[in-house]
């Protein structure tokens, strides 16, 4: 499928079951006003079953092309949207160009011969120099969610090519120093930057996050330095290879639940023109109406055999040809819906992904819900699928905010959410724990705002979630009040500490380690500007927070007991000083499970070997300091290694700054304290 170039010639092939005719349109350049050749395909020669194909001799690389497809246009009864006036982008293109694209013009019914997006003929060849996917063990992963463009677009990044794959390469030392194991990139597949709500100012705003994919085999041209040379594939590969050399895995956020074509009023880019009735969920009573389970106008018909094959081919391409290490699936519950829209436990697409030989080592992570109310966290079809643990996010936000009566669920979440995963034989690593992600408040905004402030989006503050489970620490927004600022920073440290002390796979949002703010905007999907960019001056301004995050990551990675691949049992192994986990309140072994006012929880976690220190954690989210005791140990002593109420302890590595502690002490309000049990000779 697509265009396959060789020096002798190029083979073109597309799928269109109900088309009655097809033309291949060839352009010299992405912005050539007229084609230099139009080739009409002969169905008796150039059609095999439902595939239209033609071999063209002597075409050089760099030539651009589109398709015109003819056929019935009966939208209501059959969902057909064939229109031979419109030029279509190849769904299998390896290099998509949107140089002349105008989404508003393309939406017009009479947009005859208006320039479309175009595909570019490129040679798919690259020297990998022995590179292979990193393939970290899931339980050892620490994921860093980030935006390719936003990470280096700010002037303060001081990279040679801001906002590109190359810019990421220059910042690899920062990622290594931070200590994360895997990056999770917001969408990198080619997307429509002009896809915005109708009344939004397109002069100032654009589709920044990229959840508007139109080409599932092409890297986004906006992240390339020289896309006009067809460098899409190789610039992305250069980045992957460099990250792998640094030991960092690459996970892609992929959007197979909807496309950039939107609903009935959206433009025809490719899928609508080649096979609208196959590609999308349509209302059976009126097939001009798109069923919208995504909130984006259309829903991909993922479990139609042809669409399933297309998505699987795309995923396998990114693993085999682009060497990525895994995928996070946006609104993944859509992928579980059958052709009638009802959820399937044995959805063909999901189980094809599960058992694909090409994907057998790739991480597969589900955002296990959709916009139509299907919520599958802990119940997503398949065995090795991990999912974003929204239950973890919500209860930890509430606990640190100061809500009472949560300690039972907090304990369940910290210990790996066995209630969600253990019953099906899954593991703690099936849960991706997170506090913040791209969608919502940043960490600093979570402790600085009670309400969203999205007016800059141009939708009268209607967009974005209204339920943020946040607390502004006593004042809405920016303030210079030192007590409030100190409390906010302590709360931010509390979130990071608990996240990295929890069983399961932690995910951090890029910029949280330097307290990046979006000024209360919890939906910066349209802000390719300073509101959505990483401000690198913050790495100095908030250096204390950056050091703390590094130390928490280092602490986690030095303690295998925090990265178990099996659930905790509360039982004591013969070579351990303690059960694998013991729970406490303000007094030892008395966590006050039934107290509706409790805001205090502690636990002792046994090391997996005599070489690993046991750890004791106390979390006090009440408004008062509390007096606690430490478990008695012989020939050892407890050392305080982390205290979110004492930022002076983070000027150097925790192991150097550790302080000897007695068996009794005070834990400050709104703080997390961690102790290590070490030999006295330490």
Catalytic entry in 83, 184, 253, 367: 367
| Strand boundaries in 245-341, DSSP class E | 249-254, 282-283, 286-290, 326-329
The answer to whether 666 and 646 are in contact (CB under 8 A) is: no
CA distance 526 to 524: 5
Q: Are 225 and 161 in contact (CB under 8 A)?
A: yes
3-state secondary structure of 385: coil
Alpha-carbon distance 129 to 240, whole Å?
A: 12
- CA gap 655, 446 in Å, rounded: 30
* The two three-digit tokens of residue 167, written as one number: 């810019």
Q: Is 364 helix (H, G, I), strand (E, B) or coil?
A: strand
H or E, element range at 37: strand 37-40
2, 50, 51: which is closest to 317 by C-alpha?
Answer: 2
C-alpha distance across the termini of the chain, in Å: 64
Phi then psi for residue 584, to 5 deg, are: -140, 160
Query: Tokens at residue 598, please?
Result: 């409790």
Give the residues across from 22 on adjacent strands: 69
* SS3 state of residue 65: strand
Q: State how far the Cα of 346 lies from the Cα of 379, in Å rounded to an integer.
A: 12
**How many Å is the maximal CA-CA distance in the chain?**
88
Among the listed residues 87, 330, 643, 676, the single catalytic one is 330
- Determine how β-strand 664-667 pairs with β-strand 363-366: unpaired
Is 367 considered catalytic here?
A: yes
Tokens 């905010």 belong to 401
Phi-psi region of 372 (alpha: psi -120 to 50; beta: other; left: phi over 0): alpha
195 an active-site residue? Answer: no
Residues with a catalytic annotation lie at 330, 367
């Amino acid at each position: 499928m697509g265009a396959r170039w060789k020096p002798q010639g190029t083979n073109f092939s597309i799928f269109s079951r109900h088309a009655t005719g097809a033309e291949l349109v060839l352009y010299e350049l992405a912005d050539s006003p007229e084609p230099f050749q139009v080739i009409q395909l002969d169905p008796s020669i150039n059609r095999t079953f439902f595939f239209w194909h033609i071999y063209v001799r002597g075409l050089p690389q760099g030539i651009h092309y589109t398709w015109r497809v003819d056929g019935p246009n009966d939208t209501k009864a059959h969902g057909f949207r064939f229109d031979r006036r419109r030029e279509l982008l190849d769904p299998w293109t390896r290099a998509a160009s949107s140089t002349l694209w105008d989404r508003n013009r393309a939406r017009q019914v009479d947009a005859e011969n208006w320039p479309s997006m175009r595909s570019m003929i490129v040679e798919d060849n690259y020297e990998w120099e022995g590179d292979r996917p990193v393939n970290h063990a899931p339980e050892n992963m620490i994921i860093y969610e980030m935006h390719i463009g936003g990470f280096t677009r700010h002037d303060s990044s001081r990279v040679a090519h801001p906002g590109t794959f190359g810019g990421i390469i220059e910042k690899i030392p920062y990622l290594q120093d931070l200590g994360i194991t895997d990056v999770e990139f917001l969408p990198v597949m080619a997307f429509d930057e002009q896809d915005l709500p109708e009344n939004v100012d397109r002069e100032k705003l654009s589709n920044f996050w990229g959840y508007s994919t139109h080409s599932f085999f092409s890297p986004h041209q906006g992240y390339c330095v020289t896309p006009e040379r067809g460098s899409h594939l190789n610039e992305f590969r250069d980045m992957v290879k460099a990250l792998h050399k640094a030991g960092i895995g690459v996970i892609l956020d992929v959007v197979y639940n909807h496309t950039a074509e939107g609903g009935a009023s959206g433009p025809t880019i490719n899928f609508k023109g080649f096979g609208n009735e196959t590609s999308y969920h349509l209302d059976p009573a009126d097939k001009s109406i798109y069923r919208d389970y995504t909130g984006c106008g259309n829903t991909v018909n993922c479990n139609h055999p042809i669409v399933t094959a297309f998505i699987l081919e795309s995923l396998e391409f990114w693993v085999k040809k682009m060497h990525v290490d895994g995928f996070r699936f946006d609104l993944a519950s859509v992928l579980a819906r059958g052709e009638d829209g009802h959820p399937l436990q044995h959805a063909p697409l999901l189980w094809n992904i599960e058992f694909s030989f090409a994907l057998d080592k790739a991480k597969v992570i589900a955002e296990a819900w959709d916009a139509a109310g299907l919520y599958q966290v802990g119940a997503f079809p398949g065995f090795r699928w991990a999912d974003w643990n929204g239950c973890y996010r919500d209860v930890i936000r509430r606990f640190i905010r100061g809500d009472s009566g949560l300690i039972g669920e907090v304990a369940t979440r910290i210990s790996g959410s066995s209630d969600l995963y253990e019953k099906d034989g899954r593991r703690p690593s099936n849960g991706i724990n997170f506090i913040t992600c791209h969608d919502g408040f940043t960490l600093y905004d979570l402790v600085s705002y009670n309400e969203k402030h999205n007016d800059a989006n141009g939708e009268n503050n209607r967009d974005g979630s209204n339920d943020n489970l946040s607390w502004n620490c006593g004042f809405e927004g920016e303030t210079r009040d030192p007590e409030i600022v100190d409390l906010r920073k302590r709360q931010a440290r509390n979130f990071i500490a608990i996240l990295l002390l929890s069983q399961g796979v932690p995910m951090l949002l890029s910029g949280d380690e330097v307290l990046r703010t979006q000024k209360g905007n919890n939906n910066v999907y349209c802000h390719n500007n300073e509101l959505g960019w990483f401000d690198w001056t913050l790495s100095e301004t908030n250096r204390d927070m950056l050091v703390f995050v590094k130390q928490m990551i280092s602490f986690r990675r030095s303690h295998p007991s925090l990265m178990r691949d099996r659930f905790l049992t509360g039982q004591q192994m013969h070579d351990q000083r303690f059960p694998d986990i013991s729970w406490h309140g303000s007094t030892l072994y008395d966590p006050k499970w039934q107290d509706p006012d409790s805001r205090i929880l502690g636990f002792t976690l046994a090391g997996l070997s005599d070489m690993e220190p046991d750890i004791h954690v106390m979390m006090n989210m009440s408004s008062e300091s509390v007096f606690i005791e430490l478990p008695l140990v012989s020939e050892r002593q407890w050392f305080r290694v982390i205290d979110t109420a004492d930022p002076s302890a983070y000027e150097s590595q925790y192991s150097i700054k550790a302080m000897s502690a007695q068996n009794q002490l005070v834990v400050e309000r709104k703080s997390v304290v961690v102790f290590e049990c070490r030999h006295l000779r330490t």
